[in-house]
Structure 1
Amino acid sequence: MFFLQMSGFPGSGKSTLAREIAKFTKAVIIDHDIVKTGLLEGLELEGQDKNIDPKRAGGVAYHIEWSLVDFYLSQGHSVILDSPCLYDVIVENGTTLAEKHSAKYKYVECVLNDIYELNNRLKNRERMITQIGPVDIPEERWQEVINRAKKPTHLECLKVDTSQHVDDYIGDVLLYIDK
């Protein structure tokens, strides 16, 4: 059993890779965008203010996600959390829950160093209300932006170049998870 924390800038291929990993491992995927979108859509249906702070909604969504991770791990399921991983608390909660349930903690960072390809993906995907569209970041600042992901400092992490087709790196990811 494992708990896998996906990481990477929106559009870098986290969800695509998570779905591919789940095909091979039967892991449960908890997608931050789906939870956050469902939360916001539910609040709108209830007549709540449409101007809810996205950061606050994201925080509430993470609380829901941690409850789901805890539940699925307690049931013996492997779990993948598909999230950008921009806060230290995400790594802390993930490692704590993995330890609590004697699951292997794994961390995969999806990296796409081509801002043009990233914007192409962001422009052409079916977008949920919580997902960003194409970004306008100067190329010279791009590396700084993609390096904002928080990583565990005491564990081996895997960085994946997602400019290639998922078939080109899924084998390496599965070997890493199996270690």
Structure 2
Amino acid sequence: MGEEIEERRRMVIAMKGHPGTGKSTLAQAIASLLKFPLIDKDDVKDCAAPLAAATTASLVNDLSYDVVFRLASTQLRLGLSVVVDTPLSHRSHLCRLADVASVSGARVLIVECRPSDLTEWRRRLESRGTDDQTNWHKPSTWRDIEMLLESYGGCTEFDVGDVPRLVVDTTAPVCFDEIVSTVLDFIVSNGGSFGAPLATDR
């Protein structure tokens, strides 16, 4: 029994990456295949639109992170692993997530989406901005992304310490299933055990 519990140690799969990099698409695929709850910061922030006119964008953003961390904590206490989809743009966010995981004896793994093809990244971003008018808080133009990166001032490139991290190029000339398989291999190599074999055909 003890060995089985150890094999199925809870995990927090922490997505990382800027808007439009394919982070959410990959998070959804991983959560679906592994049957892990997906906690998406955008879902929380989408519901906070009524607050946006009454308070600052920074406060809404901080509140959204607070909700994400609280939801993750609850799922971990229930014995579930989770996929957490946030930009993870500040080291403080990783520290808080690590604290949440530590309380439940869970392990944090980072999956970072970093596209090498800026033209394709721009195309995806601006296409999404045109098609999805409900996500009022998301950058919808390349200039929005440039301004966002300028505001970060390089803080997104922080040292993750001993937290295992996989960087994936979401614009690489390979099929999406191959990217998903790479992430699954990374999770398994870092202690993930998911019982029955996972099919990656989509």
**TM > 0.5 fold call:** yes
Is 1:154 aligned with 2:156?
A: no
Provide structure 2 residue ranges, at least 5 long, that are not aligned to the other structure.
Answer: 1-9, 191-202
The amino acid of 2:60's aligned partner reads A
Shift of 1:5: 0.9
Shift of 1:51: 5.6
Give the TM-score normalised by structure 2: 0.76
Shift of 1:114: 2.1
Change (3 A) 1:97 1:72: same
Is 1:131 aligned with 2:138?
A: yes
Is 1:20 aligned with 2:29?
A: yes
DSSP 3-state at the match of 2:48:
helix
The separation in 2 between residues aligned to 1:63 and 1:155, in whole angstroms, is 21
Structure (1 or 2) with the larger CA radius of gyration: 2
Is 1:78 aligned with 2:81?
A: yes
Conserved? CA contact 1:85–1:150, under 8 Å? no
From 88, 91, 96, the counterpart of 2:99: 96
Shift of 1:113: 2.1
Greater relative contact order (CA < 8 Å, ≥ 6 in sequence): 1
Query: Deviating runs (4+, > 2 A) in structure 1?
Result: 144-151
The amino acid of 1:177's aligned partner reads I
- Structure-2 residue corresponding to 1:166: 176
The amino acid of 2:122's aligned partner reads N
From 62, 66, 77, the counterpart of 1:63: 66
The separation in 1 between residues aligned to 2:153 and 2:182, in whole angstroms, is 25
Change (3 A) 1:149 1:37: farther
Provide structure 1 residue ranges, at least 5 long, that are not aligned to the other structure.
Answer: 44-48
Seq. identity, %: 27
Change (3 A) 1:174 1:112: same
The separation in 2 between residues aligned to 1:26 and 1:20, in whole angstroms, is 10
The amino acid of 1:66's aligned partner reads F
Is 1:6 aligned with 2:9?
A: no
| Count of aligned pairs | 170
Give the TM-score normalised by structure 1: 0.85
